[in-house]
Structure 1
């Protein structure tokens, strides 16, 4: 939709299809972060793009949030043995800790649309990043396994809310740059993931305790609060007015769980996340079983994440320019299929090639994040679709490492686990075909 002429009055349409009174806007008007999502996206479209300074501040805030979205998870994964010994975790407790992120992202992500009806995105991100900072700090200080579990859940709650909000903020503030901005924040997420995984152990060794390797990331979460504070402080009155007068998420009739598109998005998200969690959890062990030294196996695993950084930037931009996503979906499937077959039959001889192909195949993650924004017309639809796809998808994803581990222990090899991942890839591809063509969640109500 092109921007309106200067000073024009453009009617907006609520989620229920009604056209309220028009509102004149000036060119270059900044959409406040504190607006209700449905009103904010309409204001953004009316004015074309946000003012440069305000847009850059929002973008900087999004990138800082994205840097934090996996650091709490991967830093713990790198130090899990030390934490398990230090806090005397039982085997069951250690297993539960590894599946807690997917459980938290699924359960807490589902309530985010309800929170958006009551708080502005800026205030939610402030609370989310504060929860992440406090949770990470407290779990690094406690001597109790139960408190560690509870504070980890607090930290993950902040991540879960931000997971859902970022696609909505792209739609709200950068409706004409969806691919580029999604690529930027996905790349930041990947960088945060890689840096936390690679540096948690060296930081712990430098300070002589695993607590430092976990607690240091609380500072990064605290920094991510700062760009959102001014808008959060301004947004209280705006949120109250919007809550009284606007049709908001959850009252608009947008129910992704009752649509084919919603379920296809959730299944694609879940299947690609399942493979991602399984790769992160078990790829190093596969390479060790193939005869690699532990440090070399770790480097090969890190290679998948590191190669994913440029892919995370390019994939959304490419997806935003294509009329249909089928070529990308089939290319990602082909790369993952070849990688899985190589890992099953020649894991040592072609290890570097399989890592490169896996990294490309994992481009399905930035692709689905971009598609969430492409398959909704409004911020209202985006947050509803994002919440359903991610919360349902993470339930599916939680099964990945568990089932791969069971198959590995039962069969004593990697043929059955890789076969399971190939089956999940087939399901992912089928769902991808359904989401490939342009369509909108609002049209399927």
Structure 2
């Protein structure tokens, strides 16, 4: 039952985000908003993911793991309905904030629930939920525009709330159950263990998450527009986003495998980052010169994201360590990523060219490669924290 619930929950992790970009032209026409405000809408996912990730440890002190997941899925559904209740950009923003805060909390909870229910099958279960996440991410943009044509953009956007309701129901049989072999982190967990921001692996994880997400969410909101500006019809722009998302389905299989197979997968992360840059520059230079080539190269790059999610459990020895690393890595990382969609939109509005925002994301990807060097090494945050605590003691003994 836990496996089914994990799969259904993961379907919700990106559908609420990717269902919106193909509808941007309709939303702009309906609500009269420009590129900068769409950029603000695009930064909501990363802002909410950051805020909710930091809130996860506190949430788990007040709720059981299963209760937290049920609540998150119900709020995801409610937010998606709220954002289309009226022809109002304010309601669209408020509903998106609610839905994506709940999705962000689920982002941080997923590595913990995998570690809790399947401690000996982390790579396989990480692959399972990331595949489900990519399915939701791919299907939503593919059907968003056709559904809007048959109805309107509000119904198209709100229809994905059904996924949240189904996922919430899937957790009900497990409600208030706690697997004996691997308990949910308690309020009394060691504070020293939770200080992962003092470790190179923790900081590297945050940079890897942040810079990958900065680029990914910038493109997620603007890929259809890039192709439309290059002369393609709106449907082709939506198809490119769906293809870009669908390739992530394959990467969701291979990313965790790379982490499990290699003690130090840094060269692989660096290679994905380089392909990401090449694909993005190609799209900005002339998207329609080789549309399938550029979008495919760009789509390979975000493989660093499922690798980072899997690394959370490989760089922690305990559930407490995984909880702290997930909260800090995703919280700090998504905080960095907030500037992505807004900066991308502003640079385009001021220059009327896609190349300056692409240079901006290319710099971020170079930082991602640098940060990943620290968290791809075969280290554990608990060990690094022990060494940090031991150093002052050693210095004091030497002084005596």
> What band does the TM-score fall into relative to the shorter chain?
0.7 to 0.9
> Could you tell me how far apart the structure 2 residues matched to 1:317 and 1:368 are?
12
Q: What is the CA deviation profile of residues 226-272 of structure 1, one whole-angstrom value per residue up to 9, with x for unaligned ones?
A: 2211222446xx9xx989xx564574532122222111110111001
> Could you tell me how far apart the structure 1 residues matched to 2:199 and 2:71 are?
32
Match of 1:190 in 2: 134
**Structure 1 residue 93, shift from structure 2 partner:** 5.6
Is 2:198 the counterpart of 1:258? yes
Q: Which consecutive unaligned segments of at least 5 residues does structure 1 have?
A: 1-56
- Larger relative contact order (CA 8 Å, sep ≥ 6): 2
Equivalent residue runs for 1:229-248 within 5 Å:
229-234=172-177, 248=188
Match of 1:136 in 2: 80
**Structure 1 residue 351, shift from structure 2 partner:** 2.5
Is 2:353 the counterpart of 1:413? yes
Structure 1 residues 166 and 147, CA gap change in structure 2 (3 angstroms): same
**Structure 1 residue 401, shift from structure 2 partner:** 2.0
> Could you tell me how far apart the structure 2 residues matched to 1:167 and 1:314 are?
17
Structure 1 residues 286 and 122, CA gap change in structure 2 (3 angstroms): same
Higher helix share: 2
> Could you tell me how far apart the structure 1 residues matched to 2:177 and 2:226 are?
52
Q: Secondary structure at the match of 2:268?
A: helix
**Structure 1 residue 376, shift from structure 2 partner:** 0.8
> Could you tell me how far apart the structure 1 residues matched to 2:88 and 2:234 are?
30
TM-score, length of structure 2 as denominator length: 0.87
- Structure possessing the higher radius of gyration over alpha carbons: 1
> Could you tell me how far apart the structure 1 residues matched to 2:202 and 2:184 are?
27
Is 2:46 the counterpart of 1:102? yes
Match of 1:160 in 2: 104
Match of 1:314 in 2: 254
Match of 1:366 in 2: 306
Match of 1:151 in 2: 95
> Could you tell me how far apart the structure 1 residues matched to 2:229 and 2:27 are?
25
Match of 1:299 in 2: 239
Contact 1:170 1:373 (8 Å CA) reproduced: no
Contact 1:300 1:355 (8 Å CA) reproduced: yes
Structure 1 residues 328 and 93, CA gap change in structure 2 (3 angstroms): closer
TM-score, length of structure 1 as denominator length: 0.79
Q: More deviation in 77-86 or 179-188? A: 77-86
Please provide the CA RMSD for this pair.
Answer: 2.6
Contact 2:269 2:369 (8 Å CA) reproduced: yes
Aligned length, in residue pairs: 382
